[in-house]
Amino acid sequence: MGEEQCVTNGVITPSAAASAFLKAMPALTQQGLALLATAGRYLVREMTIDQPGDGDGVARYDLRERAPDFYSLMARRVLLNDEPCAEYSLEGGGAVLCVPARKRGVWRVYYNAYPARLPAEIADDTPLEVVPEVYALLPLFIEGRLRIIHDEDYGTAILNEFEQRRAELESRSRAFWDVVATVLREGSVAL
């Protein structure tokens, strides 16, 4: 980034430019994660819902209230008492789980999650919970956004490469989820 003289044996010596770059990185990392969050390579998380089974009709559970990082249930499993259960539907754009209120037990819901919010200041060794394909694209986004400040043409070229790779990731992921959806419709496999 033009500040090579500020790095000795892998340690960054503070300078005005290096400090500005470091200060911008957490926000740029969060922006990159937000762009990549819906590219099809999701973090899979789990939530449980205890249900007494003493009701009639339909019990509704807002998954976004229960899991603020909830993105979708696409091709994920819903279990009741650790057994696959197909007796559910989704409302509210796929964010409200509707199940028979008479069913008693623990619902285990596997869902696709948004990446966690990063603090404003993060350490070099702060782990990022993302799949490797997403992790590999983050440096391109961050470098492109930082470089565009001093060299618009070069920064734009890096951001174009990022967008191309993101589109490739999304395309591969979409093809995979199309196959999964076909298999689920045909009932051959339970994920």
What is the rounded average pLDDT for all residues in the chain?
Answer: 83
Identify which of 175, 183, 169, 155 has the alpha carbon closest to the alpha carbon of residue 35: 169
- Cα–Cα distance list, 95 to 28, 56, 92, 106, 141 (Å): 28, 21, 5, 19, 30
Coil/strand/helix, residue 131 = coil
Rg of the chain (C-alpha set): 22
Residues 107-166 have pLDDT tens digits of 999 998 888 888 777 777 888 888 788 888 999 999 999 989 888 999 999 999 999 999
Identify which of 37, 65, 35, 38 has the alpha carbon closest to the alpha carbon of residue 49: 65
Q: How far apart are CA 35 and CA 166, in angstroms?
A: 9
List 108's β-bridge partners, or say none: 48, 79
**What pLDDT was estimated at residue 20?**
80
Contact 33, 136 (CB under 8 A): no
Residue 81 DSSP one-character state: T
Check pLDDT > 50 for residue 185.
no
Check pLDDT > 80 for residue 181.
no
Dmax (CA) for the chain in angstroms is 70
**Lookup result for tokens 């290096």:** 18
Neighbour count for residue 62 (Cβ, 10 Å): 13
Which residues neighbour 111 within 8 Å (Cβ) at sequence distance 6 or greater? 44, 45, 46, 47, 63, 67, 70, 71, 72, 73, 76
Residues 106-115 have pLDDT tens digits of 999 999 888 8
Check pLDDT > 80 for residue 60.
yes
Does the reported pTM lie above 0.85? no
Coil/strand/helix, residue 46 = strand
Check pLDDT > 50 for residue 35.
yes
Contacts within 8 Å (CB) and 24+ apart, 16-24:
21/146, 24/145, 24/146
**What pLDDT was estimated at residue 51?**
97
